[in-house]
């Protein structure tokens, strides 16, 4: 009785390994894109909620909240967000100086945003240890001194999306992520 060999040849095994590798690579790329879109959707939702709350504040008080602050809560320490001590900041453009979470702003806007602060994804646009942005920053009286704006950091090198009817008036790719500048009003708006 003749002996028959069973099994796979080395070529067949290599083909299967290559196909599995290609499928794994596709899955990783798709998963990464889903994560990026989810983080950007979280930031866009927080932006929408904050603009709505600040418009209600403005309708009540006759002006925009007069603060420069991080929007949301839970900002991390240091330029990479991995330091265990320090000041929780959302923006630093000069060594030792930046924007932090403002307790006064949170108190002033609490009636309009409710107990759960809308918080963006903590994406960081990093240039150096003294020049970086994370999450969202609200600025009253910035730019020419009369601008009211929000800076939002989006994950990935993307085109800044229009959010709640606001188009980004400036943007740049910083450290692989996108810095988006949204002008929402003027200090003279009543």
* Spatial CB neighbours of 112, under 8 Å, sequence gap ≥ 6: 52, 53, 54, 56, 57, 60
Backbone angles phi, psi at 3, to 5 degrees: -85, 135
d(CA 23, CA 64): 51
**SS3 assignment, position 49:** helix
144 in a domain, yes or no?
yes
119 in a domain, yes or no?
yes
Q: Identify the domain containing residue 49 by its residue range.
A: 10-186
d(CA 120, CA 135): 6
4 in a domain, yes or no?
no
Output the pLDDT for position 64.
Answer: 95
143 in a domain, yes or no?
yes
pLDDT reading at 179 higher than 80: yes
Output the pLDDT for position 56.
Answer: 96
- 180 and 153 in contact (C-beta within 8 Å)? yes
In total, how many domains does the chain have? 1
pLDDT reading at 39 higher than 90: yes
- pTM greater than 0.75 (yes/no): yes
pLDDT reading at 5 higher than 90: no
102 in a domain, yes or no?
yes
1 in a domain, yes or no?
no
């Amino acid at each position: 009785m003749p002996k028959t060999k069973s099994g796979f040849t080395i070529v067949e095994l290599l083909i299967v390994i290559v196909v599995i590798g290609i499928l794994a690579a596709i899955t990783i790329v798709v998963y990464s894109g889903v994560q990026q879109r989810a983080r950007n959707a979280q930031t866009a939702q927080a932006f929408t909620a904050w603009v709505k709350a600040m418009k209600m504040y403005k309708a009540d008080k006759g002006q925009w909240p007069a603060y420069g602050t991080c929007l949301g809560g839970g900002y991390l320490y240091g330029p990479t967000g991995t330091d265990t001590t320090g000041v929780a900041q959302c923006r630093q453009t000069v060594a030792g100086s930046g924007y932090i979470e403002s307790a006064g702003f949170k108190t002033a806007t609490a009636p309009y945003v409710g107990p759960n602060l809308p918080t963006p994804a903590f994406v960081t646009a990093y240039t150096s240890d003294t020049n970086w942005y994370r999450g969202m920053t609200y600025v009253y009286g910035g730019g020419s001194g009369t601008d009211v704006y929000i800076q939002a950091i989006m994950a990935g090198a993307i085109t800044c999306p229009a959010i709640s009817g606001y188009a980004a008036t400036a943007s740049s790719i910083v450290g692989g992520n996108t810095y988006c500048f949204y002008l929402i009003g003027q200090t003279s708006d009543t």
